[in-house]
Amino acid sequence: MKKAIAIAAAAVLLAAAAPAFSQEQVAFKLLGGLVRMQGDDYNKGILGAYQLARDTSDSLSGGYEKLTSGWSFQAEIVNYWGSHVGVGIGGGFYRVTKTSGVTGTASVPDPTYQFSSNYTPKISTIPFFLNIHYRFHVAPRIGLDVFAGPVFQIVQYGFRREATSSLNALSELETFNASDTALGLQGGITVGFRIVRGVTLIAEGFYRSSKVSNIKGNWFLNQTTTSGTVTSSSNSYYLWSYNLTAGSVYPLVGYFDANGPAAEGISSARKATIDLSGPVVMIGFKFSL
């Protein structure tokens, strides 16, 4: 026990005696971690789709899951002007996707039939950002860096739905793919622990705010029944948000042309928004020159 205490004390003394962070002029950061997003209209619509399936089925298992989190990595080069202030430019990539579905039975219309439905939404994003940094030291080996700035994102949105039903031997495949851009802001803090001169272990947390709307892309639908196969497609469909009143009111999302959904019970139709905003937590290394 005494030996362990002595070793720990020696480690503390060495850390305290280590030279302070070098005042590097250029630093390169490489990080990876977890990103979360709010989803907005898509997530509201996916919950509405589940509620509709639940209320119109005799039995139901599984569920549709929201777009919430994924993995991310990014790199940044920071040029410091003096001891504290710097400007960084960087980019990265993150993806949020989830496959989920339901199976069940229903008896409207007669007779009782079995059905299944699987959804796979996917958002792949390339962010580019410009940050203003302010760094300071809290201990010889430990430093903090507060940053904020604008972010520009190239966004790819994809959706795939596969459905089957024993009623008329139905089999459906629907896909939608679109690309768009989004502007926003981000800001956060980095904590660094210098391992050796020029190499620092860093943990970074920040919040990114951005939305994408008016999402236009390529839509495809293939339906096969006992009557045959019907295929439809368009390169100018949009992601729409709307309410369906069928006893209760269900918020839904779907893919339609520029005129939007038009059927009995549909109201409050508008082109959907996907909110990309959310916290990001990463770890990595900073290499200083």
pLDDT digits (tens, 9 = 90+) for 111-149: 899 999 999 999 999 999 999 999 999 998 999 999 999
Q: Beta strands 216-225 and 199-213: pairing type?
A: unpaired
Given a cut of 50, is residue 8 above it in pLDDT?
A: no
Angstrom distance (rounded) from CA 22 to CA 198: 8
Given a cut of 80, is residue 12 above it in pLDDT?
A: no
Q: Beta strands 85-97 and 113-137: pairing type?
A: antiparallel
Confidence grade of residue 191 (pLDDT, cut at 50, 70, 90): very high
Location of structure tokens 């005129």 = 259
In this prediction, residues 238-258 reach a mean pLDDT of 94
Cis previous bond, 19, omega within 30: no
| pLDDT for residue 2 | 42
If 0-12 CB within 10 Å is exposed, 13-18 middle and 19+ buried, where does residue 277 land? middle
In this prediction, residues 260-286 reach a mean pLDDT of 95
Tally of CB atoms within 10 A around 275: 19
Given a cut of 70, is residue 11 above it in pLDDT?
A: no
In this structure, what DSSP letter does residue 264 have?
T
Confidence grade of residue 23 (pLDDT, cut at 50, 70, 90): low
Confidence grade of residue 167 (pLDDT, cut at 50, 70, 90): very high
pTM metric for this prediction:
0.86
Tell me the CA distances in angstroms from 233 to 119, 174, 209, 222, 264, one per residue in order. Answer: 19, 10, 33, 9, 23
Ranges 2-6, 49-53, 165-169: which has the least confidence: 2-6
Cis previous bond, 127, omega within 30: no
**Percent of the chain scored above 90 by pLDDT?**
85
Q: Mean pLDDT of all residues in the chain?
A: 91
Given a cut of 80, is residue 250 above it in pLDDT?
A: yes
Given a cut of 50, is residue 19 above it in pLDDT?
A: no
Angstrom distance (rounded) from CA 194 to CA 202: 9
Angstrom distance (rounded) from CA 112 to CA 94: 43
In this prediction, residues 248-253 reach a mean pLDDT of 93
Which tokens hold the place of 31? 């990080």
Confidence grade of residue 246 (pLDDT, cut at 50, 70, 90): confident
Q: What is the pLDDT of residues 54-74, one digit of tens each?
A: 999 999 999 999 999 999 999
Higher pLDDT, 48 or 3: 48
Cis previous bond, 121, omega within 30: no
Location of structure tokens 């005799």 = 58
In this prediction, residues 257-263 reach a mean pLDDT of 93
CB proximity list for 116: less than 8 A, separation 6 or greater = 101, 102, 103, 104, 163, 164, 165
